Structure 1
């Protein structure tokens, strides 16, 4: 079997290369990793997250950012989290940030392993990250990791739970992030039709 080997890239090479690409890529420390497309459910959760946090953070020093900014983690990898909160000034022209306080990922079947294992380790290794929230996409639920010394504590949230983000002075009902999502609707993909 003949396998193509990836030529390692430096972070600087990746950043210059990605600027010229029509699609977005993350950097795993060795080379580019293509970003996959999302679903309507994923997009709705992201929009609810942005709406809920932006309003609650108004007038405070922290600010919510969506998945347009790159996050360079401690080991040099580059990620596009579904959302993050930064509490230090960010230059208007910045495309890469290094110090979010809270990071959010919306889990999907194609990214769950990376989000739960790889990114959890990367975010834990990044000193600024105090809380990592993984939001389920197919039901109301979340797993929340919080910094505790050199490790993480974790909490599993269900529909009736409150998502506490003490690092940024915010609490919100977890169900608010799933507002308008019908989990009973068909999820047969782009070709799905309503049954008669």
Structure 2
């Protein structure tokens, strides 16, 4: 919708408006922004990693109170903000007619060329505001690397995971994410051998 950016609305107004749209939007500072606009450059690598993460979390959480969700479900990041993470783990009882997570514990953003900077800066800071969120995971797609923000007693701590042997512990939801599972089926561009140059 061409006029969407000129609209200003509350999250409650946004959900009513979103029902009549043909694509998913996020609410940024009270203005709807097409999610696909934020996702320019997303690839099969992005899609495969996202599906792998959902599959791994679903298998581990099946029958437990928490469950993974897709970008269809949003998270409130402020009084005029809603985001749609690639993957989220929601731990509130299921309510069939809601479009918003009530007790999210984990959000995962899978990097695309156009979203890496915003995912690592603005979105992370927005996600940190949510009172029930325990972890924010940023996953790269050009190399097996992930950055985990974990809420601790003294604030947010950062941990980096590199290589396919690493395993990300997520005790707040009773699960782990093995890098081999996240990157199953993905290929990475060959690194140039700098020692052989010059």
TM-score range, shorter chain: 0.7 to 0.9
Match of 1:45 among 19, 42, 49: 49
What runs of 5+ residues in structure 2 fail to find an aligned partner? 191-198
Q: Please, which moves more after superposition, 129-138 or 69-78?
A: 69-78
C-alpha distance 156-21 of structure 1, shift in aligned 2 (>3 A): same
Tell which has more relative contact order, 1 or 2 (C-alpha 8 A, sep 6+). Answer: 2
Q: 2:144 & 2:182 partners in 1: Cα distance?
A: 8
Alignment RMSD (CA, Å): 1.8
The answer on whether the counterparts of 1:100 and 1:128 sit within 8 Å (CA) in structure 2 is: yes
Shift of 1:74: 4.0
Which residue of structure 2 lines up, in the alignment, with residue 35 of structure 1? 35
The equivalences for 1:55-66 within 5 A come to: 55-66=59-70
The TM-score with structure 2 as length reference comes to: 0.84
**Over residues 55-80 of structure 1, what are the superposed CA-to-partner deviations in whole Å (9 max), with x where a residue is unaligned?**
11122221111121122224441111
The answer on whether the counterparts of 1:14 and 1:32 sit within 8 Å (CA) in structure 2 is: yes
Which residue of structure 2 lines up, in the alignment, with residue 166 of structure 1? 171
Shift of 1:184: 3.8
The answer on whether the counterparts of 2:24 and 2:72 sit within 8 Å (CA) in structure 1 is: no
C-alpha distance 167-94 of structure 1, shift in aligned 2 (>3 A): same
For residue 104 of structure 2, give the secondary structure of its aligned residue in structure 1.
coil
